[in-house]
């Protein structure tokens, strides 16, 4: 599974990094984000790309897991 | 890569939020706020600076604690707390963010409005705002060039919890002062524009209150009075303002305001909606060009439509270039000022509205940017660089040149790898 850490990054870097990570056709991803905005943007982008997204709030960060067939 | 959807379900949330914010902003004008200034982050922060230091910074016409700002901060804070998104964080180049906030404000005060008000001016029929909106696009493009080169101010980290509460605490302090100044007596040190005050275009301006459309009480010069012929004369008998300039006097922006509770509640609602939707006035254009996502763009489209509709309904819509409220008609100046302001906002990672919202969620870097805006506002008025309805100040171009150089330097030296 591909892992991406966008914690602490200002807009639009979480989106830029996520979009770049998708370019190789990856089917499973784990993204770590720590702000509500980064979480919402990354989730929306992954959902738009056809992923099934689950978000786990572990207190200091969000663990965003995305899978597609 | 499989084909990606470019407009997702959040587009409707953002469009609806923009519509709501635009409609409320236009309605606030009907409630007493200045023309096409139902909501303006730059102008309102500037007015707050005026309240505290207006005596030093020559901000007599623009001094008032705008309750909208208090409401926005507390509303966004509440929404963030409820959704467990209030997370104290910071440490991403705070000093540079302060400078960027300062420059953002400087550009906005040369244009006469922030990236929110640029759209609201257009929504009120003010066609001079087109130059500002073009400047927003240009600023976004410059920011994209910087981002593509790897511009990054570094990662923020979790910080000591109390630091995340600075902006909400500031809002509470503002609320206390606003209540004292409105319902009690204004503190001695503070400046507050008299409600409904008019000022002439003279230097120094004569300021007076109107009753039934006629000048009644003369506020400035002190001890001045209205002569038979309609002019205003000073205590020593010299003419402070001719009858023509008294007739042509305009309301001071700081003296135009909705009732405190109306502003506060409207601000609270806007704060909640903006925090939940992540509404941003520059991010829409940025995301559309940079990552081909269009959801955020629906926010500003909604803002424009919402304000246009309510302005039309309330009879406030005035289509044209001439005599627009709190605006000047310097096309090149407006374009350049908004390019500078938006470029600064792009380097910050969001428009000033977003900076206020994120500061309310515990982001101390955004709070630092807001502090830069407050200080920048005081500086621009103190240095006589802020524009007026007559146009740009004499040294405004020089100031913009210096700010542009600083932005280019920040963009060039702020490139680093994070991935």
Domains in chain A (CATH in brackets) are 2-67 (3.30.110.40)
- ipTM confidence score: 0.94
Q: How confident is the model at residue B9 (pLDDT cuts 50, 70, 90)?
A: confident
Q: Check residue A69 and give its pLDDT.
A: 81
One domain, residues B158 and B116: yes
Is residue B55 assigned to a domain? yes
- Closest residue in B to A58 (Cα) is B84
Is residue B85 assigned to a domain? yes
Query: Closest partner residue to B295 among A7, A22, A44, by Cβ?
Result: A44
Count CB atoms within 10 A of the CB of residue B361: 25
One domain, residues B95 and B45: yes
Is residue B333 assigned to a domain? yes
Model confidence at B1: pLDDT above 60: no
Of the residues B213, B230, B251, the one at which a domain ends: B251
One domain, residues B181 and B306: yes
- Rounded mean pLDDT of B180-193? 94
Model confidence at B419: pLDDT above 60: no
In A, what residues contact B, Cβ < 8 A? 4, 7-13, 15-17, 19-20, 22-25, 34-37, 40-41, 44-45, 47-50, 57, 60, 68
**Distance, CA of B254 to CA of B59 (rounded, Å):** 9
One domain, residues B211 and B320: no
Tell me the two tokens of residue B209: 């209150």
**CB–CB contact B147 A13 (8 Å):** yes
Tell me the two tokens of residue B333: 């100046």
One domain, residues B264 and B116: yes
Could you report the per-residue pLDDT of A19-59, keeping only the tens digit for each? Answer: 999 999 899 999 999 999 999 999 999 999 999 999 999 98
Could you report the per-residue pLDDT of B304-343, keeping only the tens digit for each? Answer: 999 999 999 999 999 999 999 999 999 999 999 999 999 9
Is residue B419 assigned to a domain? no
One domain, residues B188 and B283: yes
Cα torsion angle, B391, B395, B401, B402, sign = negative
In total, how many domains does chain B have? 2
Could you report the per-residue pLDDT of B56-103, keeping only the tens digit for each? Answer: 999 999 999 999 999 999 999 999 999 999 999 999 999 999 999 999
**CB–CB contact A44 B10 (8 Å):** yes
**CB–CB contact B83 A36 (8 Å):** yes
**Distance, CA of B419 to CA of B417 (rounded, Å):** 6
Model confidence at B417: pLDDT above 70: no
Is residue B1 assigned to a domain? no
> B186 burial class (0-12, 13-18, 19+ CB within 10 angstroms)?
middle
Is residue B2 assigned to a domain? no
Could you report the per-residue pLDDT of B113-148, keeping only the tens digit for each? Answer: 999 999 999 999 999 999 999 999 999 999 999 999
- Where helices occur in B214-280 by DSSP H, the ranges are 243-247, 260-277
One domain, residues B246 and B267: no
One domain, residues B373 and B401: yes
Of the residues B224, B251, B278, the one at which a domain ends: B251
Of the residues B207, B227, B251, the one at which a domain ends: B251
Q: Which domain holds residue B233?
A: 197-251
Is residue B347 assigned to a domain? yes
Count CB atoms within 10 A of the CB of residue A23: 8
Count CB atoms within 10 A of the CB of residue B391: 12
- Closest residue in A to B85 (Cα) is A36
One domain, residues B289 and B168: yes
One domain, residues B187 and B206: no
Tell me the two tokens of residue B70: 């208090």
| Best mutation target, A2, A7, A11, to test chain B (most B CBs within 10 A) | A11
Q: How confident is the model at residue B344 (pLDDT cuts 50, 70, 90)?
A: very high
Are B104 and B352 spatial neighbours (Cβ–Cβ below 8 Å)? yes
Which one-letter DSSP state was computed for residue B5?
Answer: P
**Distance, CA of B371 to CA of B90 (rounded, Å):** 14
One domain, residues B22 and B168: yes
Is residue B345 assigned to a domain? yes
- Rounded mean pLDDT of B12-38? 97
One domain, residues B274 and B224: no
In B, what residues contact A, Cβ < 8 A? 1-2, 4-6, 8-10, 80, 83-85, 87, 89, 92, 147, 152-158, 278, 280, 283, 286-287, 290-291, 293, 295, 348-350, 354, 358, 361, 363, 365, 418-419
Tell me the two tokens of residue A28: 């499973």
């Amino acid at each position: 599974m591909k892992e991406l850490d966008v914690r602490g990054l200002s807009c639009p870097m979480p989106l830029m990094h996520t979009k770049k990570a998708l370019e190789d056709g990856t089917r499973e991803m784990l993204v770590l984000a720590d702000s509500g905005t980064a979480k919402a943007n990354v989730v929306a982008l992954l959902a738009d790309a056809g992923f099934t997204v689950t978000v786990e709030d572990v207190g200091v960060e969000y663990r965003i897991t995305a899978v597609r067939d | 890569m499989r084909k990606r959807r470019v407009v997702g379900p959040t587009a409707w949330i953002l469009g609806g939020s923009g519509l709501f914010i635009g409609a409320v902003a236009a309605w606030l004008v009907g409630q007493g706020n200045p023309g096409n200034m139902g909501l303006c982050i730059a102008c309102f922060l500037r007015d707050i600076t005026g309240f505290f230091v207006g005596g030093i910074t020559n901000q007599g016409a623009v001094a008032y604690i705008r309750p909208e700002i208090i409401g926005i901060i507390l509303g966004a804070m509440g929404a963030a707390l409820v959704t467990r998104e209030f997370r104290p964080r910071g440490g991403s180049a705070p000093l540079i963010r302060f400078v960027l906030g300062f420059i953002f404000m400087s550009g906005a005060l040369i244009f006469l409005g922030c990236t929110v008000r640029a759209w609201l001016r257009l929504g009120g029929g003010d066609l001079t705002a087109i130059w500002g909106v073009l400047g927003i696009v240009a600023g976004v493009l410059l920011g994209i060039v910087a981002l593509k080169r790897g511009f990054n101010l570094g990662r923020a980290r979790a910080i000591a919890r109390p630091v995340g509460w600075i902006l909400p605490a500031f809002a509470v302090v503002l609320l206390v002062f606003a209540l004292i100044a409105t319902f009690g007596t204004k503190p001695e040190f503070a400046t507050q524009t008299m409600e409904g005050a008019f000022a002439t275009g003279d230097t120094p301006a004569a300021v007076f209150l109107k009753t039934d459309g006629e000048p009644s009480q003369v506020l400035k010069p002190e001890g001045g009075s209205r002569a038979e012929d309609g002019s205003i004369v000073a205590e020593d008998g010299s003419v402070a303002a001719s009858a023509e300039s008294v007739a042509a006097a305009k309301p001071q922006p700081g003296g135009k305001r909705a009732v405190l509770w109306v502003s506060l509640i409207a601000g609270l609602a806007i704060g909640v909606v903006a925090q939940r939707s992540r509404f941003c006035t520059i991010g829409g254009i940025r995301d559309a060009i940079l990552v081909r996502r269009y959801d955020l763009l629906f926010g500003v489209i909604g803002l424009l439509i919402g304000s246009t509709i309510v302005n039309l309904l309330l009879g406030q819509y005035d289509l044209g270039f001439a005599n627009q409220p709190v605006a000047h008609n310097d096309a090149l100046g407006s374009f350049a000022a908004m390019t500078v302001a938006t470029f600064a906002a792009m380097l910050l990672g969001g428009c000033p509205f977003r900076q206020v919202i994120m500061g309310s969620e515990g982001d101390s870097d955004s709070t630092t940017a807001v502090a830069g805006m407050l200080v920048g506002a005081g500086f621009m008025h103190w240095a006589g660089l802020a524009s007026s309805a007559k146009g740009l100040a004499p040294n405004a171009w020089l100031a913009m040149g210096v700010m542009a150089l600083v932005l280019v330097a920040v963009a060039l030296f702020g490139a680093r790898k994070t991935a």
